[in-house]
Structure 1
Amino acid sequence: MDPLAIATEATRSLQGMSTELTARVPHLLEAMQSVGTGLELHSTLDRIAETAAELADARYAAIGVIDSTGEGLADFITYGVTQEQRERIGALPDGHRGLLGALIHQPAPVMLADLSSDPRSAGFPPHHPPMRSFLGVPIRVEGEIFGNLYLTEKRGGGEFSIADLNMVKILATEAGIAIGNARVHDEGRQRMRWIDGSVAVTTALLSGSDAEDALAVVAEQARRLADSAAGIVLLPDDEGGLEMVAVSAEDPAGLLGTVIPPHSPVVGQLLAGEPVFIDDSATDPRMITAVAPRFGPSMLLPLKSGDRVLGTLATPRRRGARKYTAAERRLAAQFAAQAALALVLAEAQRDRERLAVYEDRDRIARDLHDLVIQRLFATGLLLESAQRKAAEPDVHEKVGQAVDELDVTIQEIRTAIFALQQEPTEAPAGLRTRVLRETGTAAVPLGFHPSVNFIGPVDAKVGERTGKNLIAALREALSNAFRHAQATRIDIVVDVTVKLPDGREAVRLTVADDGTGIPEGGRRSGLRNLAKRAESLGGSSSYGPGIGTDGGGTRVVWEAPL
């Protein structure tokens, strides 16, 4: 062909593209203005995808957000794909292969007339809508690759033009600015939420709650802040592993009491004070517990204060959920450190309170021994002297009965003195003894001894895990009675002759008092904790009227399989 003719044809082609681009400038400016509004990151990404599709007249659009490693996709936002289609397709692209993976490692504009003809294409999964034409441009935020904007299936069955490519490149530049602003705003808002959560944890832990409540508060706050499926606190066990001792989850069944064994690859790292981040708990070989397949991305954060590692905070998300961002990991690690410090302070506060209780018990024991028993002895001697001088047989007999009663009373007081002076660790570890120890400890702040009744072979039938949770439930119920009920009588029954509706044998703990009952709209977090413990074992917990006059007070019934 004549070189002059070639030059003339090229000039006409460029003029045509320039005219097309000029004609679409108002639309482009309007699109850029739409993209630049809003500060919420995900809504900004949705708006960018929709705007790009409309601008280039594409049926489908997507934005692949590159993960922190730069090797795959952390998020994939789509436009034009219905919810039904997404469910049929299944898992979203991860960016580790195919054309999308190639664009991560070679971030440059790509325009294809037919996707299937490109050697980098890996094809589509079953039920994926047909896509032929393709246009992809990288999105840069502050000079770094944030992700890629993809457009497919030009309407009318045609191909994307150079004008489409240029407009989308301009839009991607504007999108980078909008994403940067949204990301700064999003991180600032997240930071405030985590700070508020840390304050709430510290306030709750220092308000006088016991150790069980303290760990439950940490788990609940972590789950809310991390937007995770569960918040779990794990503490070191006797074998060197980590046991789940506090769980906040929609479905806590099977979690409480689960142990990560000491040979797990993550245990040594966590006990050394190093965090562990998991992209998918269900497939990661380091996650070897039976509950791991239930979850996806997870953070395992050491609860570390100074050089001391108290335990671990885990926040697993559901399978298929988005991975944790670098900002979320950093904020969660700061929250864990703050929670660990609050736990240490709360532990020190409880130690001071315990010391005060022990000192008070010692004082009571001394007073009983030095004053009460001596007076009872003196009274007994006076009665014996009067008995010898009594002329009437009936009087003589009744005085003798009074002396016998005094002897019994002295023996009971000596038993109480021994119990007050005994350290909790000196008692045997049977469930019956642990129940009596808890009620004996509660008697000091209550001002009276709760009555305790055992039905069936308690020590022989109740397993260790169920027994540990029963003691925690008893402690919670007694604490509620002391702090809120103003009770003057508490009846406790531990019954191992119970059968659940499905036929399984169970233990039932009943704690009934004659206090003020639960006020309308009153705080029920303690009762929720009891229910969660029971449900995690396959049991249940309920409450109702107590043993006060006219049905006053509160009755808590806690059941769990043996």
Structure 2
Amino acid sequence: MSVPEPQDPGDLAARVPRLLEAMRSVGTGPDLRSTLDRICATAAELTGARHAAVGLVGEADGFGEGSIEGRTSLAVPIRVRDEVFGTLCLTGKRGGGDFTEGDLHLVRVLATEAGVAIANARLYEEARQRERWIDGSVAVTTALLSGDLEDAAEALAVVAEQARRPADSAAGIVLLPTEDGTGLEVAAAVGDGPVPRPGLVVPADNPVAARLLAGEPVVVADAARDPRMPAALAEGYGPSMLLALRSDGRVVGVLATPRGPGARPFGEPERTLAEQFAAQAALALVMARTQRDRERLAVYEDRDRIARDLHDLVIQRLFATGMLLESARRESVVPAVREGVGRAVDALDVTIQEIRTAIFALEQDTAAAPSGLRTRVLREIGTVAAPLGFTPSHRFVGPVDAAVGELTGQNLIAALREALSNAFRHAGATRIEVVVDATVTLPNGAEGVRLTVADDGVGLPEGGRRSGLRNLARRAESLGGASWCEPGIGADGTGTTVVWQAPRR
């Protein structure tokens, strides 16, 4: 550090008051860098040095206490008790003279006071870091246990973000052990710049991954240059700290907080605080997962209760009502009444089937519902409801979601789409019934699924809708099934029924 030209410092006795005044001002302020600047400026002013610098431990090794090159330079260690923080170095006595014994004595006194100031500054910074890590732990715990997060991915993103801030890192990354035990998968990543893409897997045989899966922390000085680091966690990063998220001796994840290239390395106090944060975050994740499982179990229990009530109460009452109506229909002597009661009985039968379908859906795992075959069938039916002007009725028989494989399901949906499209464009139908039956047995004895789309339209004209029907047949035959047409559900058998069936898997 270069300083402006000072006044003549005078002899030692004259400089003592100025030294005492300087000592009172050296330690003011918690910032370490500003403290070091004040130390340099004060030392240069009191000794008449042109240049002053403080080298921390590891930066100024080799300087001994006392004179260098005929007292043209001074180097005094900065100590607090037995610990050496660094060295206060002075060069270039103004006026061309040498540093005196008085200069050396003043600098020693100032170095002692500087050591106390530096220690206080470091203690203040450590306290601030501890406060930031504690705030992060509180934020993680509050967010994970509040129940406001939509899913597990959002919870992991909260952990990554709350770790990134106190670590002063360029990114926060959470990795989870893969289900098959082959490594660590990036589950959440947040940062100011590019971050690893979720889904990237670090193989378990990578030395860093192996240590983390064993519950050991990994701290590197430069991730980009460390050959042990996996590319997903190294490119574009500098000092990095990777910590295992452990609960009950089990590694539930990994937290990585890499800093940018050229940033300061992680110190031991930071590592200790980060490990405490990781332990708290792991506990919060496990507790949040347990809480979600309890809530899911409560939902399942409620669904089971509703399904039992529908089966034991509603269906039985509807069935009894249907029996009464059927008895009344047989005893009625008025044809119009018999016909009306018969339609009511048929409607009750359809209602009972629909309730049974709802019961089966309630008994399924909700996690499978968004991608299940039932949902896709209902989505196709809902799509044509608006252009048709009515919603086709539907019925499911058997374990449609659980029994039908993905390939067969995809082809069944395509067949349903084709059949509904034909009914809309050509049939002029006022009623359409869709049935998906996963309990049929194919001619070859295999377990199959059958799609039936029946309408009350004008029927199948000669030469009409042939290409669509051929497509349906080709899809079924490619799976070992078949497709054909039958009379519809209109009066006197008018309309068309398209039947498509294939092996369930």
TM-score, length-normalised on structure 2? 0.63
**Shift of the alpha carbon at 1:311?**
1.0
**Shift of the alpha carbon at 1:277?**
1.0
Cα distance in 2 for partners of 1:395, 1:386 equals: 9
5+ long unaligned stretches in structure 2: 1-7, 380-405, 408-505
**Shift of the alpha carbon at 1:234?**
1.2
Answering whether residue 2 of structure 2 is matched by residue 39 of structure 1, we say: no
Answering whether residue 94 of structure 2 is matched by residue 109 of structure 1, we say: no
Indicate the SS of the match to 2:120.
Answer: helix
Indicate the SS of the match to 1:328.
Answer: helix
- Quickly say closer, same or farther: Cα 1:203–1:390, change in 2 above 3 A: same
Is the 8 Å Cα contact of residues 53 and 151 (structure 1) preserved in structure 2?
A: yes
Q: Which residue of 2 aligns with 1:182?
A: 121
**Shift of the alpha carbon at 1:436?**
5.2
Letter in 1 for 2:155: A
Indicate the SS of the match to 2:226.
Answer: coil
Letter in 2 for 1:281: A
**1:325-344 to 2 correspondences below 5 Å:** 325-344=267-286
**1:47-446 to 2 correspondences below 5 Å:** 47-57=38-48, 61-66=52-57, 72=58, 95=59, 100=60, 103=61, 106=62, 108-109=64-65, 135-151=74-90, 158=96, 161-162=99-100, 164-208=103-147, 209=149, 210-237=151-178, 238-251=180-193, 253-388=195-330, 399-423=341-365, 432-433=371-372
Cα distance in 2 for partners of 1:252, 1:390 equals: 78
**Shift of the alpha carbon at 1:191?**
2.4
- Quickly say closer, same or farther: Cα 1:415–1:49, change in 2 above 3 A: farther
Give the percent of matched residue pairs that are identical in Structure 1 and Structure 2: 63
Cα distance in 2 for partners of 1:410, 1:227 equals: 62
Cα distance in 1 for partners of 2:199, 2:142 equals: 27
Cα distance in 2 for partners of 1:435, 1:313 equals: 40
Q: Which residue of 2 aligns with 1:470?
A: none
**Shift of the alpha carbon at 1:390?**
6.0
- Quickly say closer, same or farther: Cα 1:55–1:368, change in 2 above 3 A: farther
Cα distance in 2 for partners of 1:242, 1:291 equals: 11
- Quickly say closer, same or farther: Cα 1:290–1:246, change in 2 above 3 A: closer
Letter in 2 for 1:302: A
**Shift of the alpha carbon at 1:399?**
4.4
Cα distance in 2 for partners of 1:319, 1:435 equals: 52
Q: Which residue of 2 aligns with 1:522?
A: none
**Shift of the alpha carbon at 1:60?**
5.2
Indicate the SS of the match to 1:327.
Answer: helix
Letter in 2 for 1:109: E
- Larger Cα Rg: Structure 1 or Structure 2? 2
Is the 8 Å Cα contact of residues 9 and 47 (structure 2) preserved in structure 1?
A: no
Cα distance in 1 for partners of 2:363, 2:242 equals: 42
**Shift of the alpha carbon at 1:175?**
0.7
Letter in 2 for 1:331: L
Higher relative contact order (CA 8 A, sep 6+): 1
**Shift of the alpha carbon at 1:48?**
2.6
Is the 8 Å Cα contact of residues 9 and 45 (structure 2) preserved in structure 1?
A: no
Q: How many residues align?
A: 368
**1:6-25 to 2 correspondences below 5 Å:** 20-25=11-16
Q: Which residue of 1 aligns with 2:482?
A: none
- Quickly say closer, same or farther: Cα 1:50–1:223, change in 2 above 3 A: farther
The one-character-per-residue Cα deviations of 1:64-92 (angstroms, maximum 9, x if unpaired) are 433xxxxx4xxxxxxxxxxxxxxxxxxxx
**Shift of the alpha carbon at 1:138?**
2.6
Cα distance in 2 for partners of 1:153, 1:419 equals: 87
